[in-house]
Each structure stands twice: as structure tokens, then as C-alpha cells.
Copies of this chain bind each other. A is one copy, B any other.
């Protein structure tokens, strides 16, 4: 194969590090990040990067100090509890500062029966299996509003406090409502995005921003 054939019809930027650098430069040029602290800004940039929308910055809500607290907890080795396998897959292992465990209980053998007994979704039932790891953990909910609602109910009845809840479920039923409940109750430090938008990529993006020092 000649070099010309290998190059192909379309030329494009192929250097991963340079792609990141230009992406973040574009985001910083276009997005209004002025209201964020340094630690919050890094999260905002990665969330924007994950969804391709600079305007999402306006919908981000951080409880005071949540980003800094989450960053410290990750350095200290806090596990990461994910509501979906897509979120878990989105966590860049190489960025984790302390070989942090990334846990998703959705496929645990007891989840189907638990969901049936609780009369709740599988995503929500899987949260009940977090109890022994939840205190001091980083929670990353990027898919199911029912998982976030169930977590908030669980925190009402048990004296466990995550170091930070990244709560960004997406969708048309319960997503906006569960995130407003997260903001109103403020049972633990939290990072969220108001409204219907959210998802596993934004959630993993926020986590990856908090995990590593390098941009």
C-alpha cells in the first residue's frame, strides 16, 4: 500500500493529544465559564466536550465545594459507583489517581428478583446493593432517573453519605424531577445538570475531569 493510498481521500487531525487540546481551546473560547471555580471549570469543560454543546454550561449545578471534595476523595481512593455499564465504560482508568474501583451492580445476580420485590426498575434495585460501599464513595448516575430517586430515598433512611453524587440522568420521565430533588435535598455534595439533558457520556466526562490532574 502506498503512502498516498494510506493517507486516503480525507485528511484529518490524527494526533489524539492535539485533538483534545484544540477541543478544550474551542470550548474555553465559546463557553461562558466565568461563574465556576477552578475545579468546577474543569468539570464543565469535560461535560461540554462529552456532549458537543457549550450551552450546557448554563444548566450545570455544583453544591459548594463538591468538585474539590470529589477530587480529594478520588485521590484518597474512593470507589466509583455507577448506575449503568455505559458510565462505567466511560471512566478512563488511566486517569484514576488511586486505582479506584469502578463498580456497577446492574448485572448482579440478585438484581432482577430485587427489582421485582421492590416494584422498581433494575437500575434502581441495583442501587440497594451499594449500601456497604456508599459512605465516602463517588456516585455516578448517568442513565436512570429511578436510580437517582431511589438513592435519595436511601440516603433519607440510612446514615451514609457519598463524598459526591454526580447525578445526570437523561430523559423525559423523572430526569429533570430527580435532579431537582437532588438539588433541593442536598444530602451530600453533588454535581448535576438541570433539565432533560444528561447521560452516561456527560457523567463519565465529569468523573474523568475530577479524576485526573492533566487536562
A contact set with B: CB distance below 8 Å: 1, 5-10, 12-16, 19, 22-23, 26-27, 49-53, 84-86, 89-90, 118-122, 124, 145-146, 149-150, 152-154, 156-157, 170-175, 177-178, 181, 185, 195-201, 204
Cβ distance A181 to chain B, nearest Cβ, rounded Å: 6
Q: A12 to B174, Cβ gap below 8 A?
A: yes
B residues near A119, Cβ cutoff 8 Å: 14
Q: A200 to B86, Cβ gap below 8 A?
A: yes
Cβ distance A9 to chain B, nearest Cβ, rounded Å: 5
| Known contacts A26-B172, A86-B90, A86-B201; is-contact A157 B52 (Cβ 8 Å) | no
Across the interface, A200 reaches (CB within 8 A) one of B6, B172, B178, B201, namely: B201
Q: A12 to B177, Cβ gap below 8 A?
A: yes
Cβ distance A93 to chain B, nearest Cβ, rounded Å: 11
Q: B90 to A156, Cβ gap below 8 A?
A: no
Residue from A122, A124, A196 whose CB has the most chain B CB atoms within 10 Å: A196
Q: Is the interface of A mostly helix, strand, loop or mixed?
A: helix
Q: Give this chain's copy count.
A: 2
B residues near A51, Cβ cutoff 8 Å: 51, 170, 197, 199
CA of A152 to CA of B120 in the docked complex: distance in angstroms?
44
Cβ distance A174 to chain B, nearest Cβ, rounded Å: 5
Across the interface, A170 reaches (CB within 8 A) one of B85, B90, B201, namely: B201
| Known contacts A52-B175, A170-B50, A170-B52; is-contact A200 B197 (Cβ 8 Å) | no
Cβ distance A165 to chain B, nearest Cβ, rounded Å: 14
B residues near A157, Cβ cutoff 8 Å: 1, 5, 8
- 11 CB contacts below 8 A, A to B, read A10-B153, A10-B181, A12-B174, A13-B146, A14-B121, A22-B173, A52-B175, A52-B196, A52-B198, A170-B201, A200-B201
Across the interface, A172 reaches (CB within 8 A) one of B12, B27, B204, namely: B27
